[in-house]
């Protein structure tokens, strides 16, 4: 004899009522409890009842009575189950099943990434806060160094030794800040990689659905297959709500693809998309338009160009960069003195692009940027 959990029976009955307004088959047990579903098989010793999220085999010895619903009502109930719980039903064809399995994996991966998204926001904020401390720490170290240089150790050995200790402490704080930024950047890169992989799979799946729908449109499909794809599209649209993607038009120049970029929400500029540049690079002229005085920026860096040459630059963190509707906050950028190609104000590098899954449609001249909302 099968021992049935009372809670499970009640939950199953609630499930039936929530998913359909039609009356289902009702099985009443000898203990006066009952269960609703659709009888899919009857034998001398048992019946099989479909309860929407699966089937259960019930021995006749436990059953007091069975009240059957009409066939059209049962059909409507099953169709409603397929719509809401279609993942539990086998797909019409093997090829359709592959799509269903891929969809389930996307659902599972999405739930795992929820924590990553929240963690990434915290990481970006900490990087920005720590990065803004670097110039102050550098200046503190430089000031102590200047003081140490002007102190005669022979005349004031105590002051000299104290300054050496202070200089070492200042250097230690600066190294800790730099190491922490590198650690956080490494964590962000890992999160970005997982998010990008998911978005790429998501975009591929969208193409797979579109292609499969084109194929079945030219075939003789049965109603079950049409229902399957309608249900899959409905569920996929729910998943798609979390993804924001932008198609932004671009122009071409000798240096490559050029897009319009809004800086800090107040200055527009034309930038060459450069996936080989770790940082976004802006001209001194653009920096001035952003009210950034390059000669007052204290953090010096060095850029390595494609030909291997090195040029000095000033590092800044820009509040925001926006391409079309795609926006990234706290974007690292380098201000350079070198000549920028005519008609553009710099190069849009990976410090912006890494926040998105991106691709280029050269035929339509569109830059496609996708990310979680």
Q: Write the secondary structure of 222-243 as one string of H (helix), E (strand) and C (coil).
A: CHHHHHHHHHHHHHHHHHHCCE
Structure confidence at residue 36 (pLDDT): 79
What pLDDT does 188 receive?
Answer: 85
pLDDT confidence band for 12 (50 / 70 / 90)? very low
Cα separation values, 214 from 102, 168, 223, 240, Å: 19, 68, 16, 20
φ, ψ for residue 320, nearest 5 deg: -160, 150
Q: For residue 277, how many C-alpha atoms fall within 13 Å in the half-sphere facing its CB?
A: 21
pTM check: above 0.85? no
Report the range of poorest mean pLDDT among 15-29, 59-73, 106-120, 166-180. 15-29
Nearest Cα to 267, choosing from 340, 322, 332, 202? 322
Given this structure, which CATH class describes domain 94-241?
A: mainly alpha
What is the maximal distance between C-alpha atoms in the chain?
A: 109
Is residue 147 over pLDDT 80? yes
Question: How confident is residue 370, by pLDDT bands cut at 50, 70 and 90?
Answer: confident
- Domain covering 6-88, topology: SH3 type barrels. (2.30.30)
DSSP 87: G
94-241 and 244-372, same CATH topology: no
Q: What is the mean pLDDT of residues 96-109?
A: 87
Domain ranges of the chain: 6-88, 94-241, 244-372
SS3 of residue 154 by DSSP: coil
Q: What is 244-372's CATH superfamily?
A: Acid Proteases (2.40.70.10)
> What is the pLDDT, as a whole number, of residue 4?
45
pLDDT of residue 23: 65
Stretch 262-278: mean pLDDT: 92
């Amino acid at each position: 004899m099968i021992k049935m959990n009372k809670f499970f029976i009640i939950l199953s009955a609630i499930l039936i009522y929530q998913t359909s307004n039609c009356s289902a088959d009702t099985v009443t047990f000898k203990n006066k409890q009952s269960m609703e579903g659709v009888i899919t098989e009857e034998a001398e010793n048992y019946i099989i009842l479909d309860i929407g999220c699966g089937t259960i085999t019930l021995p006749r010895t436990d059953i007091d009575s069975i009240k059957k619903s009409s066939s059209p009502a049962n059909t409507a109930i099953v169709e409603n189950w397929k719509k809401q719980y279609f993942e539990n039903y086998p797909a019409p064809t093997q090829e359709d099943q592959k799509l269903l399995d891929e969809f389930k994996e996307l659902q599972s991966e999405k739930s795992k990434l929820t924590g990553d998204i929240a963690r990434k926001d915290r990481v970006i904020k900490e990087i920005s806060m720590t990065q803004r401390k670097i110039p102050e720490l550098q200046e503190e170290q430089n000031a102590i160094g200047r003081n140490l240089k002007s102190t005669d150790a022979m005349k004031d050995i105590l002051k000299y030794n104290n300054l050496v200790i202070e200089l070492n402490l200042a250097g230690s704080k600066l190294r800790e800040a730099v190491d922490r930024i590198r650690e956080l950047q490494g964590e962000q890169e890992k999160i970005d990689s997982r998010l990008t992989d998911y978005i790429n799979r998501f975009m591929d799946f969208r193409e797979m659905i579109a292609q499969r729908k084109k194929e079945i449109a030219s075939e003789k499909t049965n109603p079950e297959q049409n229902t399957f794809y309608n249900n899959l599209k409905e569920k996929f649209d729910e998943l798609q709500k979390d993804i924001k993607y932008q198609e932004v038009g671009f122009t071409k120049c000798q240096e490559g693809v050029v897009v319009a970029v809004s800086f800090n929400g107040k200055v527009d500029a034309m930038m060459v998309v450069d996936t080989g540049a770790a940082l976004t690079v802006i001209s001194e002229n653009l920096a001035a338009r952003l009210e950034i005085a390059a000669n007052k920026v204290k953090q010096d860096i060095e850029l390595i160009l494609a030909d291997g040459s090195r040029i000095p630059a000033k590092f800044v963190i820009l509040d925001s960069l926006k391409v079309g509707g795609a926006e990234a906050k706290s974007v690292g950028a380098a201000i350079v003195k070198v000549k920028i190609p005519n008609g553009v104000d710099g190069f849009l590098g990976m410090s912006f692009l890494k926040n998105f899954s991106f691709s280029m449609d050269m035929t339509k001249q569109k830059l496609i940027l996708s990310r979680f909302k």
